[in-house]
């Protein structure tokens, strides 16, 4: 675990504000803040409490067994496809991409989730040391796991002290949350499949989702920014939302007459 700078995820020398595209060496578009971080990155420390989830007792062991069974199922599907006995579906084409290296990386992520109550943010260097796999193999394994649905990955950046005006940022380790992909359940034995929820539990979740949607719809722009975005960016959006709310209030109190 750690929040060390991942050299493979940062910026190339002399390309400030532009992140390199891994594998091609070409620069991607700059991050929306102009900082030398990858797009879709969120500031570390502003979202983790909502992102991480404490695994239930035995949950990580179950996920690892399912990943290993999925690896065996993918090998069988690959043999049948090569023999011409089967035409793979879109979900099956994802499953056959699972490798033993990816399952080994997933095992390490699950171990960290169990030991750290779901808080998983290892660097590539940590995963490489723990699995004895190269960084390129680690990167491919994470892409495979995310594509199949075994984990959710969120890029992160953090503030650093630097000379000159304005804030400074740099990429830090990703945050990970292990998940159970629904597409693999059909290849599992019945005893490994999770029991379906009772009808009253399903209806409770539907009602809860409707209540949350209604609550969010009733929020002002300022409150929406505070509730959904944290950190400095959330404060800036809250100020902007407050200005929008004032203009809407003024337009309701003093409607402009229509011109003929």
pTM of the model: 0.63
Q: Over the stretch 56-100, which tens digit does the pLDDT of each residue have? A: 999 999 999 999 999 999 999 999 999 999 999 999 999 999 999
Q: Over the stretch 149-191, which tens digit does the pLDDT of each residue have? A: 999 999 999 888 777 666 678 899 999 999 999 889 888 876 5
Which residue did the predictor score with more confidence, 254 or 15? 254
d(CA 229, CA 236) in angstroms, rounded, equals: 10
Q: What is the mean pLDDT of the chain?
A: 79
Q: In Å, how far from its chain's centre is CA 50?
A: 12
d(CA 118, CA 110) in angstroms, rounded, equals: 9
- CA trace torsion 26, 32, 36, 41 (10° rounding): -100
- Mind listing the domains of the chain with CATH numbers? 7-193 (1.10.10.10), 196-260 (no CATH)
């Amino acid at each position: 675990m750690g929040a060390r700078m991942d050299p493979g995820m940062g910026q190339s020398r002399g390309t400030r504000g532009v992140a390199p595209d891994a594998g091609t060496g070409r620069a991607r578009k700059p991050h929306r803040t102009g900082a030398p971080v990858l797009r879709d990155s969120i500031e570390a420390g502003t979202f983790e409490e909502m992102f991480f989830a404490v695994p239930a007792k035995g949950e990580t062991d179950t996920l690892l067994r399912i990943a290993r069974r999925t690896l065996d199922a993918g090998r069988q599907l690959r043999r049948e496809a090569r023999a011409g006995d089967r035409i793979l579906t879109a979900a099956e084409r994802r499953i056959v991409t699972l490798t033993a290296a990816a399952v080994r990386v997933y095992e390490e992520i699950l171990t960290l989730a169990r030991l750290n109550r779901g808080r998983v943010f290892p660097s590539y260097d940590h995963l490489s040391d723990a699995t004895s796999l190269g960084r390129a193999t680690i990167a491919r394994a994470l892409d495979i796991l995310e594509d199949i649905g075994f984990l959710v990955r969120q890029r992160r950046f953090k503030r650093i002290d630097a000379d000159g005006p304005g804030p400074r940022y740099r990429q830090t380790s990703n945050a990970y949350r292990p998940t159970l992909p629904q597409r693999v359940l059909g290849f599992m034995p019945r005893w490994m499949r999770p029991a379906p929820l009772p009808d009253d539990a399903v209806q409770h979740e539907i009602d809860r989702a409707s209540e949350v949607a209604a609550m969010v719809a009733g929020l002002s722009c300022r409150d929406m920014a505070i509730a959904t975005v944290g950190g400095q960016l959330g404060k800036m959006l809250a100020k902007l939302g407050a200005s929008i709310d004032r203009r809407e209030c003024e337009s309701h109190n003093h409607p402009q007459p229509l011109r003929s």
